[in-house]
Amino acid sequence: MQGTTGTPPQHTDTYPPTDRTVPTRSPDRAAYDKELVHSILDEGYVCHLGFVRDGAPVVLPTLYGRVGERLYVHGSTGSRPLRMTGAADPGLPVCLTVTHVDALVLARSAFHHSINYRSVVVHGTAYEVTDPEERRTALDALVDHVVPGRSRDSRPADKKELAATAVIRLDLDEVSAKLRTGGVSDEPEDLGLPHWAGLVPLRKGYEAPVADPALTPGIALPDYLSAG
Amino acid sequence: MQGTTGTPPQHTDTYPPTDRTVPTRSPDRAAYDKELVHSILDEGYVCHLGFVRDGAPVVLPTLYGRVGERLYVHGSTGSRPLRMTGAADPGLPVCLTVTHVDALVLARSAFHHSINYRSVVVHGTAYEVTDPEERRTALDALVDHVVPGRSRDSRPADKKELAATAVIRLDLDEVSAKLRTGGVSDEPEDLGLPHWAGLVPLRKGYEAPVADPALTPGIALPDYLSAG
């Protein structure tokens, strides 16, 4: 793999670190465990997809789905990033990042203010998916990523919808997670300062679902939404 | 401004659209209103900062703050993106994106599944801030961005901490918001399908703050945290 460092072969449950997945700062916060990476990816709704256009960076939020070691992103066949990944192209270099903010960390010193977070950064090349079966699998994964189990409880895309939808694939090869967990890290000499310090956990999950006003009477809230 | 389209002069309460801030798809979802852009930026905790390294895109989550029409990002003076913006440099082309996911949109058709979201994308060049007063202002803004009012209730950075902190600035010149709001948009012929449809609003705000175990007894939870 391009950029692989001189580390010994990794256990298959981890992604091999590379020059660009080993941070220059706080390397102790970096992790390569596949299960951890998958859990962070599966919990997110939106990724931030970065690519280069006319030499400048572009970062767009977009839905995504995961099937094993592959991520899928979709969009209109007319959208700019997806047009750049056509089968005739050599693929599009991308960086796909997913971040969860878990808590605000309020220290006594301004300097040690932080957040507890979990993020995954994926470097690689995105390719357009043209195989009809893989496209179906990817589109189901995109719907199930929003709510697990949902793809079986909705009308699948028809021919016209499929023709309007581009699907791109990014393999999970060059991947790292980065996390901050735990409490406040103040300097020992600051502990007596008269400032409140602690964690402020952010709320997670969702509120009560709101049915479409046009919903056919008698359709109950599905089980996959009642867990909250 | 580079890339400005042939639109007439804009009201000063909006950002002038440019080639790269007018989306090719769903242009009706794009907005340039400064007040709206500010409100989306001020509600976020983390931005996704994109830049180009060795020709490839990199997208990293990071804290940010806003002072009027300027955004500030900080980091260790040893971190890679910040090293690339030194005073000797011509600045670093970046794309800074902030996204809020407000609700899951479950349609009867897989194709019309979506999310309600609000995002801001800022294109521009980031410069290192060297003026001591602007650095102070920026660092206060970064702390106050996490919790408004917090910078006045914490120990300011000392000389050593200031020396270890790089601050970069990105002006709000080439900016757009993009939003999806409202309900489910199914095809008329799908309305009778036996699938639940509606919105699933995501939870916002934070849980009860958790005091640092080493907190000096008698320090009460500050007012700026009791609003939740």
pLDDT (tens digit, 9 = 90+) per residue, A48-98? 999 999 999 999 999 999 999 999 999 887 776 666 665 446 899 999 999
Distances in Å between the Cα of A187 and the Cα atoms of A110, A205, B15, B214 are 11, 34, 43, 12
Which pLDDT score, from 0 to 100, does residue A88 have? 47
Q: Residues of A with CB below 8 A from B30's CB? A: none
Determine the Cα–Cα distance for residues A53 and B3; give it in Å rounded to an integer: 13
Instruction: Read off the pLDDT of residues B89-125 as tens digits, 9 standing for 90 and up.
Output: 689 999 999 999 999 999 999 999 999 999 999 999 9
Rounded to whole angstroms, the Cα distance separating A38 from B5 reads 42
Look at B211 and A190 and tell me if their CB atoms are within 8 Å: no
**Candidate CATH numbers 2.30.110.10, 2.60.40.10, 1.10.730.10, 3.40.50.720; the one for domain B27-226:** 2.30.110.10
Is the ipTM above a cut-off of 0.85? yes
- pLDDT at residue B143, as a whole number: 97
| Percent residues over pLDDT 90 in chain A | 80
pLDDT digits (tens, 9 = 90+) for B15-41: 999 988 887 777 778 899 999 999 999
Nearest to A169 by CA among A206, A130, A201: A130
Q: Where are the domains of chain A?
A: 27-184+191-199
* Residue among A108, A115, A220 minimizing CB distance to B154: A108
Fold assignment, A27-184+191-199: Pnp Oxidase; Chain A (2.30.110)
Q: Which residues on chain A are in Cβ contact (under 8 Å) with B204? A: 203
A12 DSSP 8-state letter: T
Interface touch A146/B205, C-beta < 8 Å: no
